[in-house]
Amino acid sequence: MYQVVHTIMCENPTKKMWDSYLYFESEPTTKAFLQQTYEKLNIPKANVYAFQNASKFIYYIKQARQYYVSAVNSDLLVQPLLLYYGMVSLLKAYILTRDPDYPSNTRVLQHGVTSRKIKKNYYSLAEDEVKVQKEGLLPYLHSFLSKENLKEKYRIQSLLAVIPELQPAYQKLYKQTSLIPVSLSSHRNYEKLCTIFYLPESVLDKVHLTYNGFIHYLNRYNEGQGVFLPSSLEVPKGIIRLEWHHPNQIHVTESGDGFANKLFLHDYKGNFFYKIKMETDYNISEIVNHYMIMYVLGMLCRYETERWGEIVFSFMSEDMYMIQEFLTLSARKFPNLVYDLLLEERHIFQTD
């Protein structure tokens, strides 16, 4: 999906990321971008659609920016709602690049998900669920991101489990490990086009496989041209050494799709993680993941105001720790994910 990786060194990654969106707030550049995008998709009358949609696209981006700015400067009592609608504006801009007639009907303007009505006195975010509807923004967005079907319901803890940056908080709060950091060798082998990396030996116990069986298991989930191979060199006890070979990529950090394997994820700094469980709950686009979690928090904020206030302001809820971590992360990462989608390139904004 992503052609290349761009690492942008800067003093303020969040500011630099949003400054990069200014490219889409100019009518001439937006028209050219939309026309090029539509032509790549073989959409007839690409120039006409680009002219018609330029202003709409620009206002989606500008509105999203204002939602995010307002959210960062707002009280936690209303922050999830502002972030959610910022997400929606960004996603509408992306969908417009895939469907020049969007919105063609009112059904695609619905949320596309519902959350269950809270009846119990006790509330746990981890145990809450989100239900996917047949029509609306979420399923329509998903149709452009993946060929796999969405499940009917998702448990929030399962969604939190596969967000790399939340793993330290996830382990502290839920006493479980769902992602394992991958240790990459920075060595570039220009002859073999090979990336060497390390994992703790305990991963073999978790999947009940031998070293060679584990490599075969990894290769089952490849989605690109890369393949995993064993390493003949000895390593210290407690870790395993593996190789990732690609016909065109010198190193995995230079690959737009990373390992291009369902078992591996990466954070917004470019670090990689191995996914311990391979289940349907753990195998959706991170953009869809963020959307569903933020929807639940937004609905709590909007319709369960008293309970939301208790979560935010009392010392009785363990959810507050994870909620604060997620809101802070999503405010930074989600616009980055959409920016990558729009340009079909990964962008890592890092401090000097």
- Residue-wise pLDDT tens digits, 18-57: 999 999 999 999 999 999 999 999 999 999 999 999 999 9
Same domain, 248 and 196: yes
- 84 and 135 in a single domain? The answer is yes
**DSSP letter string, 298-316:** HHHHHH-HHHHHHHHH-SS
58-67, 76-85, 118-127: lowest mean pLDDT where? Answer: 118-127
| Final residue in a domain of this structure, among 218, 247, 276 | 276
pLDDT at 33: 97
Same domain, residue pair 52 and 22: yes
Q: Give the residue from 249, 276, 303 where a domain finishes.
A: 276
Q: What is the pTM of this model?
A: 0.94
Claim to verify: residue 17 and residue 92 sit in the same structural domain: yes
pLDDT at 282 over 80: no
- What's the whole-number mean pLDDT along residues 228-249? 92
> What total number of domains does the chain contain?
2
Is residue 57 within 8 Å of residue 24, measured between CB atoms? Answer: yes
Residue 64 contacts residue 90 (beta carbons within 8 Å): yes
Q: How far is CA 301 from the centre of its chain?
A: 23
**52/152 same-domain check:** yes
Q: Are residues 192 and 238 in the same domain?
A: yes
Flag whether pLDDT at 117 surpasses 80: no
Whether 305 and 163 map to the same domain: the answer is: yes
pLDDT band at 1 (very low <50, low <70, confident <90, very high): confident
pLDDT interval class at 281 (50, 70, 90): low
- Residues 230, 340 share a domain: no
Q: Answer yes or no: do 205 and 164 share one domain.
A: no
Radius of gyration over alpha carbons of the chain, in Å?
21
Amino acid in position 193? L
Residues 21 and 131 in one domain: yes
Answer whether 101's CB lies under 8 Å from 140's CB. Answer: no
Which residue range(s) make up the domain with 46? 5-173+284-351
Q: Cα–Cα distances in Å, from 126 out to 117, 162, 177, 297?
A: 15, 13, 15, 12
DSSP assignment of 267-289: -TTS-EEEES---GGG-S-HHHH
Do residues 210 and 166 share a domain?
Answer: no
Both 157 and 206 in one domain: the answer is no
Summarize pLDDT for 68-77 with one digit per residue, the tens: 999 999 999 9
Distance of alpha carbon 30 from alpha carbon 19, whole angstroms: 15
Domain boundary among 212, 242, 276: 276
